[in-house]
Amino acid sequence: MTSLPLLPGRTCGGCVECCRVIPLDLPELAKPTGELCAYCVDGAGCSVHAIRPQTCRIWFCLWRVVELSDDWRPDHSGVIVRPDGVEDGIITLYVLRRSDFLASPEFFMTVAGWIAEGIQVALSIPGPVGTYPARAVVTDWLRPAIEDGDPAAFLARVMRSLDTLAEHDFQPDGVARRYAVTTQDGPAA
Ligand code: SF4
Ligand code: SF4
């Protein structure tokens, strides 16, 4: 995966959601889906920032890349806008929790705008720790509520999709944890 250009002036702040939900399976760092990386210090971020793996250097959610409002910051919104698939015209909303943000005009207007532009939208949810997430493209399912300009119907359809995804048979990701990021002096603290 190549890194997308980041918005100037925007930082992750206190968000560490990708250090929790994204699996890593590297020689120096392997952690299952949904497990907060052991190198992540709550509220302070990566404790091995200077020597973090290359994957961590290039993976950013789309909130760091495109002009979405501050309300979209993943730890506030409960939604990670995933970067994978976007170059193929698909935006995947990885819904970490059913926050009030899903019922906000901001969420409705933004998703409606994407679909009106011809962008495909997928919803995804995490399963138990150590399993692959569930995901489904929902563009055509959401479209009637968007065409009617009906936020309540839109929210109902989003929730129905999340209910259906929650019934998914979540499969193990097979990642065995390994924390071996090292400095020249030995294992990172
Ligand atoms: S090494 Fe650092 S950036 Fe990478 S997942 Fe762990 S805490 Fe996050
Ligand atoms: S999910 Fe996005 S905002 Fe949050 S830590 Fe990762 S890149 Fe930063």
Half-sphere exposure of 11 (CA within 13 A, CB side): 5
Residues 54-111 pLDDT 10s: 999 999 999 999 999 999 999 999 999 999 999 999 999 999 999 999 999 999 999 9
182 has pLDDT over 90:
no
Distance 183 CA to ligand 2 centre (A): 24
Report the chain's C-alpha Rg in angstroms: 17
Each residue of 116-161: pLDDT tens digit?
999 999 999 999 999 999 999 999 999 999 999 999 999 999 999 9
Among 28, 37, 41, 183, residue to substitute to test ligand 1 (most atoms within 8 Å of Cβ): 37
- Does 32 have pLDDT greater than 70? yes
Protein residue closest via CA to atom 7 of ligand 2: 60
Is residue 154 lining ligand 1, measured as CB closer than 6 Å?
A: no
Structure tokens at 64: 């760091």
- Quote the CA–CA distance of 148 and 56 in Å, as a whole number: 41
Tokens of 165: 């995804």
For 104, other C-beta atoms within 10 Å of its C-beta total: 17
**What is each CA distance from 100 to 65, 69, 106, 108, 134, in whole angstroms?**
23, 15, 11, 12, 21
Q: How far is the CA of 175 from the centre of ligand 1 (A)?
A: 16
- Which ligand 1 atom minimizes the distance to the CA of 22? 5
Read off the tokens for 38: 């052991």
Whether 187 shows a pLDDT value over 80: the answer reads no
